[in-house]
Amino acid sequence: MVKKVVGLLIIGIVLGIGISYLLLRFGGVYSQSEPSSSLEDESTLHKEPVETSYSFETHGIAITLLNSGKLNKGEFQAFKEEFDYQVDEVLHLTEDTLPLRKELKFDITKDPAMSNNRVFYFDDELMADEQFYYFQIVSNLFEQDGNTRGRLTSAGLTGYLAKSLWGRPVHEEYSAYIGFEQAPGMVELLDPYEFSANYFVTFEGDELDNTLSKETEAKTFSFISYLIDTYGIKKFMEIYGNTNLTTAIEKIYQKTPEALEKEWLDFLGDKQSLGV
């Protein structure tokens, strides 16, 4: 009788192990054989032929995007979603203060050296939300004429959107240059040609050229962020597209550029002394 009971127990254990093995085996095969539809869709997008250009609409603006960077449809979709989001951020911040263009044309590249105010740089090694298109957006979104109009203000607004709004240390980054400056002062940079000469890199391999560009960028980001946070976005947008920023500042802020520059530098000094 005891042998019979032991035999039945052994049979039960063997059957249990066998059933468990089958469940694990076929359960595993089943789960592996059913990938999610989103993964299939993404894979399909990346395999589809590369388009020479893309057209789409965002916030009522018709966008044509030349595709020099040969983005596939998956990459384009990632770009478009982040571009839409950043346009939305710009419009939300600027509060309909300036009329918008109805049509915009851009190019997109995977070569950072080719990037400019009409050419986006797409880095396929970064996540979509790690890529910033603010400079191209704010340089072209609003109705404004002239090649040099708004360059300093668009660069400054870019810094505010990409850094200040995200709590990045925009003022601390410029403070590191104080006492070691090589670029002109903020008042001189209000001249569009002076700003262009110091902000845009002419020779990629020139160390001084790159240093001037980085310092000018940090200085502009900090100064414009100070103006927006202290006096509000509406006043800033009133000077945004002006050819003569010196005159516009005196009219809108009722202060000379020199006075505003001193205010800003005093603000930076106070932050440094407080260790903020």
Q: 174 pLDDT exceeds 60?
A: yes
Give the residue from 263, 240, 75 showing the smallest Cα distance to 158. Answer: 240
Quote the pTM value: 0.78
CA 27 to chain centroid: 44
Q: 64 pLDDT exceeds 90?
A: yes
Rounded Cα distance, 100 and 143, in Å: 6
Mean of pLDDT values over 247-253: 97
Rounded Cα distance, 70 and 55, in Å: 15
Classify the C-alpha dihedral 12-18-21-25 as positive or negative: negative
Name the band, by pLDDT with cuts 50, 70 and 90, for residue 38: very low
CA 106 to chain centroid: 16
Model pLDDT, residue 1? 46
Residue that is written with structure tokens 């105010």 in the block: 117
Give the residue from 121, 148, 135, 126 showing the smallest Cα distance to 90. Answer: 135
Give the residue from 152, 157, 150 showing the smallest Cα distance to 133. Answer: 157
